[in-house]
Structure 1
Amino acid sequence: MANILVVDDELGIRDLLSEILNDEGHQVESAENAAQARAARLRMKPDLVLLDIWMPDTDGVTLLKEWSASGLLTMPVIMMSGHATIDTAVEATKIGALAFLEKPITLQKLLKAVEQGLSRSIGRKVVPLGTVVRPSDVMADTALMSIALPPVIDLGPQATQSFVLEKPLRDARDEFEKAYFEFHLAKEGGSMTRVAEKTGLERTHLYRKLKQLGVDLSRGKRSVA
């Protein structure tokens, strides 16, 4: 779980990003302008910032420069915009931004960028901005963590469940689908976003399906420390 600051002047975007990141188990705070972002940056000391470029009071690039000049750019920053030029994106990365996401932001690109940003803080040890992180380094750290702390997934009864075939097809199918979704919910720590992505279902359809099958959504849900 990480502390993430979302800075965007559009309420709909702030709410959407917050919902997705909360669903991934992160603590999220949002700000609608640079003034709120400054206060939140000092208060919560975020592990990652999603920063919109075009804002009414101070634009995101100017705020990024301000943080860099004052020594406050100690966390990965991902810039966002639906109207920025290539020159603006290049300027932001030169200042110290980790990445640039063009709006509308797809779920896959968002989660990948956030994951890459948070990988700069392996074991809560911050990798200085500007340091080149090679894929082999991340893989090596992941391998070491897997050896030291092998993942344990409580799959419950479905892990050894057998299915009775001498019954109507609909009943047998429902039993299988329930076990299937319970397996993925446990595997993904209760993240509806990841389960939807893995199973290829829209989240609304997935919620409706789980409710229909009587799946306990509290099982496998991540605890918040």
Structure 2
Amino acid sequence: MARILVVDDEVGIRELLSEILYDEGHTVELAENAAEARAARARKRPDLVLLDIWMPDTDGVSLLREWGSQGLLDMPVIMMSGHATVDTAVEATRIGAVDFLEKPITLQKLLKTISAALARPVVAKAASVPAATTASAPMPAGGGGQADVSDLVTNAAPALELDPHQLQLSSIPLDQPLREARDEFERIYFEYHLGRENHSMTRVSERTGLERTHLYRKLKQLGIDASRRRQSESR
């Protein structure tokens, strides 16, 4: 299993990601800002970094560029954001990020992206992006490298849309016990997939990776009425 550094200024996200990664057998170190991330990187190189783009002291893209200029990008870095533009995602990839995760991050997407990143060889290299470029600056017209990040642009594009489920997630209070916050997250997560799959329990089971019996039990535990879903599926 891997040693993963999670860098995010939101305590709720750090705790949620930490619990998920611990359950998967990974060793997790947490940092709430760039200063703590630098210290963690100096103590021991992580096998992978989950790095939030928007942070109060130094944004994630600037920290990524800093590591790149110092030859410290010898580990895969996955950027995270709920508000990033396609330009920002592409710029992060040009600097050295291996992928981009849009918040809210689904469990399946998180684990799949981490697994793919850990399987890729990473060679430390200096950042090729000029130091004057900022995280929010648009790419120069006709800039090279876009063909190499087509998958990243595809993943980042939904960030331009206003998803009501994102609004629901942003309203989850972070000053409550982790278990209660996680229940609220899971309730929104399953309601999202039920709506997306037109209440087909078979497709929701496949999409979420849960066996149907476990899925029914989870919906009941979260107070989501599954009877209407079964009727819809039988039609």
Normalised by the length of structure 1, the TM-score is 0.57
* CA distance in 2: counterparts of 1:16 and 1:103, whole angstroms: 13
Counterpart of 1:161? none
Give the residue type in structure 1 aligned to 2:9.
Answer: D
Aligned length: 138
* CA distance in 2: counterparts of 1:62 and 1:202, whole angstroms: 41
- Kindly provide the CA deviation profile for residues 115-150 of structure 1, in whole angstroms up to 9, marking residues without a partner as x: 011112xxxxx54268x9xxxxxxxxxxxxxxxxxx
* CA distance in 2: counterparts of 1:198 and 1:47, whole angstroms: 28
2:123 aligned to which of 119, 123, 128: 128
- Measured after TM superposition, the shift of residue 44 of structure 1 is 2.6
- Kindly provide the CA deviation profile for residues 157-178 of structure 1, in whole angstroms up to 9, marking residues without a partner as x: xxxxxxxxxxxxxxxxxxxxxx
Counterpart of 1:48? 48
Give the residue type in structure 2 aligned to 1:57.
Answer: D
Counterpart of 1:2? 2
- Measured after TM superposition, the shift of residue 204 of structure 1 is 8.5
Aligned counterparts, 1:128-167, within 5 A: 128=123
State whether structure 2 residue 23 is matched by structure 1 residue 23: yes
Query: Which structure 2 segments of 5+ residues have no match?
Result: 126-147, 149-207, 222-235
8 Å CA contact retained: 1:3, 1:28: yes
Give the residue type in structure 1 aligned to 2:123.
Answer: P
* CA distance in 1: counterparts of 2:37 and 2:110, whole angstroms: 20
Aligned counterparts, 1:65-80, within 5 A: 65-80=65-80
State whether structure 2 residue 94 is matched by structure 1 residue 82: no
1:199 aligned to which of 180, 205, 211: 211
Counterpart of 2:64? 64
RMSD: 2.3
* CA distance in 2: counterparts of 1:32 and 1:26, whole angstroms: 19
Normalised by the length of structure 2, the TM-score is 0.55
What SS does the aligned partner of 1:30 have? Answer: strand
Identity over the aligned pairs, expressed in percent?
70
Aligned counterparts, 1:166-177, within 5 A: none
Counterpart of 1:100? 100
What SS does the aligned partner of 2:54 have? Answer: coil
1:84/1:127 CA distance change after superposition, 3 Å: closer
Give the residue type in structure 2 aligned to 1:81.
Answer: S
What SS does the aligned partner of 1:100 have? Answer: strand
* CA distance in 1: counterparts of 2:101 and 2:113, whole angstroms: 8
1:204/1:23 CA distance change after superposition, 3 Å: farther
What SS does the aligned partner of 1:45 have? Answer: coil
8 Å CA contact retained: 1:4, 1:46: yes
- Kindly provide the CA deviation profile for residues 31-58 of structure 1, in whole angstroms up to 9, marking residues without a partner as x: 0000000000111310000000000000
* CA distance in 1: counterparts of 2:42 and 2:55, whole angstroms: 20
What SS does the aligned partner of 2:50 have? Answer: strand
What SS does the aligned partner of 2:57 have? Answer: coil
- Measured after TM superposition, the shift of residue 29 of structure 1 is 0.5
What SS does the aligned partner of 1:57 have? Answer: coil
* CA distance in 1: counterparts of 2:216 and 2:14, whole angstroms: 19
Give the residue type in structure 1 aligned to 2:29.
Answer: E
* CA distance in 1: counterparts of 2:48 and 2:217, whole angstroms: 28
* CA distance in 1: counterparts of 2:117 and 2:101, whole angstroms: 13
- Kindly provide the CA deviation profile for residues 97-124 of structure 1, in whole angstroms up to 9, marking residues without a partner as x: 000111000111100110011112xxxx
